[in-house]
Structure 1
Amino acid sequence: MSHPAPPSSFAIDTLKISGYLLSPTHPSGWPKARYFINCGFDPSEPNLLAAALLAHPRLPSRISKPPKITPYDVRFIFEGPIESPQGLTGSVRSVWQVLPLESVGRLVTASPF
């Protein structure tokens, strides 16, 4: 059985970064925020983490897991390094969702790996 190809473009809702992945006060996201902040990302500059995550699926050193296909979406999972603006490297799993009739991968979450 062949798997769908990963999307050629990716998008991130900026609130997902500032209100979740870099929010030390988010009820469930604070451990991720602590990780990304310790990697060198700054909550006052969410666009830097967004840029690193947008590059993550395209890195040659990342590993692509088989997509998860449901009647509602297809989810692509990528694992590998992410580099902060300070040159620090962390290992991250990013999950991207493609909805039916769309071709853009939208960030669902990113977490330490």
Structure 2
Amino acid sequence: MGWYKARFFLARGFSLDAPEALEAALLAHAQVAQEVQRRPGLYGEREILVLRGPLSCPAGSVLLQSIWYRGEGEETFRLVTAYPWRQR
């Protein structure tokens, strides 16, 4: 699964030599994306956030869904995974 995601991001103009560009794009995505779901984590104290929205890429924009996690006592969410989203 990891190689599929790597190919996806590489095909959209991101580079292995500049991971900070993808990091910045994912953080920008989190600012503009729509919150699809927010729920407690497995043991209740943690929180999971599902976002869906555009990701600005060097080769154009794509619709992305991302999953973020905030642990107990943490102030900020951390990215768990991100993948292309297709309207169903």
The TM-score with structure 2 as length reference comes to 0.85
Q: CA RMSD in A?
A: 1.3
* Matched residue, 1:78: 51
Cα offset, 1:56, TM superposition: 1.1
Runs of 4+ in 1 over 2 A off after TM superposition: none
* TM-score relative to the length of structure 1: 0.67
Distance, in Å, in 2 between the alignment partners of 1:77 and 1:108 is 10
- Between the two proteins, what is the percent identity of the paired residues? 33
Structure number with higher strand proportion: 2
Alpha-carbon shift at residue 68 of structure 1 (Å): 2.2
Kindly state the Cα deviation for residue 87 of structure 1 after the two structures are TM-superposed: 4.9
Q: Which has the higher contact order (CA 8 A, sep 6+)?
A: 1
Matched, 1:111 2:58: no
Shift in Å, 1:35: 0.8
Q: Which runs of 5+ in 2 are unaligned?
A: none
Deviations 1:14-65 (A, max 9, x none): xxxxxxxxxxxxxx30111111111111111100000000111111xx2211
Q: Give structure 1 stretches of 5+ with no counterpart.
A: 1-27
